[in-house]
C-alpha cells in the first residue's frame, strides 16, 4: 500500500495548479488531505472519480476553513466522519477509513496562531490523545497521517534556536508529540531517514522554500504493531501545489 498525506492549503487552489495530474502520476493507493477549505459541494469531485478514487470529505462548518479528506483506490469497509467530540468535528479535523488490515486517519491539528488558538490547540491535543488511546483498543493497526503543526525535534526545523518560543516548536508542544509517539506510534519518516534539512512546510515569506528554511510538521505516524510492515517513507518537496509538500509511506501488508 502506498500512502500519501498532503496539506493542500485549499483543494480548489491545488486543483488549479495541476494537483490532479500530479496525483495520477503518484499511483498512490490512499491519500489523506488536510486544509481542503471547501464544502464537498464546492469541489469538482468528478476528477477523482475519473482517477479511480473513492473519496470522502469532512468539511468545517465555517466556509473556506480547515477540513480533511481521504481518497482511496479500494473501497473501505467503514468510514468514520469526525471523532464524536463536538468542538473538533465543528472544525472538520478528523476523518478515518478502515480496511481489513489497517485503519487510516487524516488529521489536521490546530495551529497556535494566537493565545486563544494556542489554548485551544492544547485542549485539542489532550482530548485527541484520550480519544486515540481508546480507539487503539479496537483498531490497533492505526496510521494517523496529517498536519500536526508541531516540529518534534531540532532536526525538524531550520532554526531551532530562534524558533524556540514560536508555536509549533514550543517545549510543551514538542513534549506532547513526544509523549504521543511513545504511547504507541512510530514516526515512519524518521525511522528510515535520519538526515537533517528535510521539511514539509515553508513560509511564503523571505523566499523560505527556495532556501529550504522549513519545518517538518506533517507526519505519517504508524502504530507499533505495524512497524515490521513499513517498507519505505519519504517526503516529496518537488510537489508545489501548497506551502506544504506531501509526505509518504509504503507498507507491505502481506507480512
Q: Which residues are the active-site residues?
A: 147
What cell numbers appear for 223 in the block? 502504530
Nearest alpha carbon to residue 201 among 73, 69, 34 = 34
Distance CA 165, CA 179 (A): 20
Contact yes or no for 190/249 (Cβ under 8 A)? no
CA distance 85 to 101: 26
What lies within 8 Å, CB to CB, of 92 at 6+ separation is: 36, 58, 59, 60, 61, 65, 66, 67, 68, 82, 108
Amino acid at each position: 500500500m502506498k500512502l500519501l498525506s498532503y496539506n493542500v492549503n485549499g483543494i480548489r487552489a491545488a486543483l488549479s495548479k495541476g494537483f490532479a495530474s500530479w496525483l495520477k502520476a503518484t499511483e498512490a493507493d490512499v491519500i489523506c488531505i488536510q486544509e481542503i477549505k471547501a464544502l464537498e459541494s464546492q469541489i469538482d469531485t468528478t476528477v477523482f472519480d475519473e482517477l479511480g478514487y473513492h473519496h470522502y470529505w469532512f468539511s468545517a462548518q465555517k466556509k473556506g476553513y480547515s477540513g480533511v479528506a481521504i481518497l482511496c483506490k479500494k473501497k473501505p469497509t467503514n468510514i468514520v466522519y469526525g471523532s464524536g467530540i463536538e468542538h473538533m468535528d465543528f472544525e472538520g479535523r478528523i476523518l478515518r477509513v478502515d480496511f481489513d488490515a489497517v485503519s487510516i486517519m487524516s488529521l489536521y491539528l490546530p495551529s497556535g496562531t494566537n493565545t486563544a488558538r494556542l489554548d485551544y490547540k492544547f485542549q485539542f491535543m489532550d482530548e485527541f490523545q484520550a480519544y486515540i488511546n481508546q480507539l487503539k483498543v479496537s483498531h490497533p493497526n492505526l496510521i494517523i497521517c496529517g498536519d500536526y503543526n508541531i516540529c518534534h525535534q531540532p532536526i525538524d526545523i531550520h532554526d531551532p534556536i530562534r524558533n524556540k518560543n514560536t508555536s509549533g516548536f514550543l517545549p510543551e508542544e514538542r513534549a506532547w508529540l513526544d509523549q504521543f509517539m511513545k504511547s504507541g506510534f512510530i514516526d515512519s519518516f524518521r525511522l528510515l531517514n535520519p538526515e537533517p534539512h528535510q521539511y514539509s512546510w515553508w513560509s511564503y515569506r523571505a523566499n523560505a522554500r527556495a532556501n529550504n528554511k522549513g519545518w517538518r510538521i506533517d507526519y505519517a505516524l504508524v502504530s507499533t504493531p505495524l512497524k515490521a510492515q513499513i517498507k519505505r517513507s519519504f517526503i516529496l518537496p518537488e510537489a508545489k501545489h501548497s506551502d506544504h509538500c506531501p509526505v509518504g509511506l509504503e507498507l507491505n501488508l502481506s507480512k
